[in-house]
Amino acid sequence: MVLFISTLHILVALFMILVVLVQGGNQGGMGAAFGGGNSQGVFGAGGATSFLGKLTYGAAAVFMGTCIFLVILQGKTGDVGLSGKLKEQKQQESLLNKPAEKTEPAPQQENAPAEQPKNP
């Protein structure tokens, strides 16, 4: 599901780039490359603005929808962002501050000679 939405998201982004570049602005833009001006453009004098405008709005709506959907999916997959990092840091601190286990001193051997006090 995530792979499909991600692929759709990338394709819509590329399509939106293409549609925006084809639209003729005040200066003509890339639309001038297809015929010299708005009156001789690919979609005619009046049709280019409305048709390409509708394509742009549609692509933008799909793009925003996929953005929101991908963010929601990412949030449901696990701890992300600051809360996850804070939990990791708290776990690491608890491991570092854990008191060391006390070890008992090794028992003395019974066969060892007892130390004699030295006389001065």
pLDDT given for residue 20 in this prediction: 84
- Residues of the chain with confidence (pLDDT) below 50: 40
Query: Alpha carbon of 59 to those of 10, 64, 69, 103, 116: distances in Å?
Result: 11, 9, 15, 68, 95
Token pair for residue 79?
Answer: 């701890």
By C-alpha distance, which of 54, 56, 44 is closest to 19? Answer: 56
DSSP-derived 3-state class of residue 54: helix
pLDDT given for residue 72 in this prediction: 87
Please give the model's pTM, rounded to 2 decimal places: 0.49
Cα 42 to Cα 23: distance, rounded to the nearest angstrom: 10
pLDDT tens string 10-36: 999 999 999 888 876 655 555 555 555
DSSP-derived 3-state class of residue 42: coil
CA 60 to chain centre: 20
pLDDT given for residue 19 in this prediction: 86
